Amino acid sequence: MTKPSGWRALRGEMISEAVAMFIIISFGCSVAAMYTLYDPSPYQQAYWGVCIAWGLSVTIAIYVTGAVSGTHANPAVTLALAVYRGFPWKKVPLYMIAQVIGAFLGAAVVYLLFSPVIDHYNSVQHLTRAGDGGAAGVFFTHPGLAITPMRALINEIILTAFLLLGIFAITEEWNTMAPMANSGALIIGLLVALIGSSMGYLEAWAINPARDFGPRVFAYLMGWNTQAFPSPGNYWWIPIVGPLIGGLVGGGAYQVLIRPYLPPKTDRVQQQAEPTTGAPN
């Protein structure tokens, strides 16, 4: 099969990024719906299941689209790769737009699946979409207990820094401790699950501007109105700016603190050429 080039290749990459986010949001926001809307919730006493579902959605997205675009599936990842790993700047806005479109479409599928349950939940709880933000957590993030918007901004910077630090290490060509072959997709998914399980209650661990912004736009159009934009406390921009800064912090930390101290390339080549332990001389 001939590898696409030029506009056809770029079109494929954009479709790939949209599909990746479509997969992530379709499964991720669906598990958020399961967590939020049902009583008893299947996940209220098993929150790790929510985290694993989000993580596996990332893993599946990578396996489906990684060979085409590399599955950034996150504007923070795209920006960090452009700054530190030579990703072409001309592709950055196109990738980001595709990611947001995919997230928007994923939210639409979740709404198609769960809209009767959303309406039932709001009716039973005497909530409205626009007035009370009833079931808004299915689609977009918000601060948790005792978290102010400015604290959430700091948190999202830190959480996304951990994400990019991990991604840079997992995908580092010369990191001899990185996962081999195609298992990196699983480890990245587990990294997402780890962040969610340890820090997710702070503000629902957006760590991805497209993850929050695409579904937020969809929810705004579906009647959540000011609950989505500008949202209480003018929160809507926090899950965008925080992860973008955090991605640069985490990627930069890896580039400065870890990458320069990896074994020299000549040593790595020699190690690869040496016989394995126990092999006959």
The string of pLDDT tens digits covering residues 177-186 is 999 878 999 9
Residue among 84, 103, 98 at smallest CA distance from 141: 103
- pTM, two decimals, is 0.93
Instruction: Look up tokens 């079109």; give the residue.
Output: 11
The string of pLDDT tens digits covering residues 16-59 is 999 999 999 999 999 999 999 999 888 878 999 999 999 999 99
CA dist., res. 72 & res. 132, Å (int) = 34
The string of pLDDT tens digits covering residues 221-268 is 999 999 999 999 999 999 999 999 999 999 999 999 999 999 876 555
CA dist., res. 35 & res. 16, Å (int) = 29
Domain 6-113+132-261: assigned CATH number = 1.20.1080.10
Exposed, middle or buried by CB within 10 Å (0-12, 13-18, 19+), for 262? middle
Q: What is the DSSP string of 4-17?
A: P-HHHHHHHHHHHH
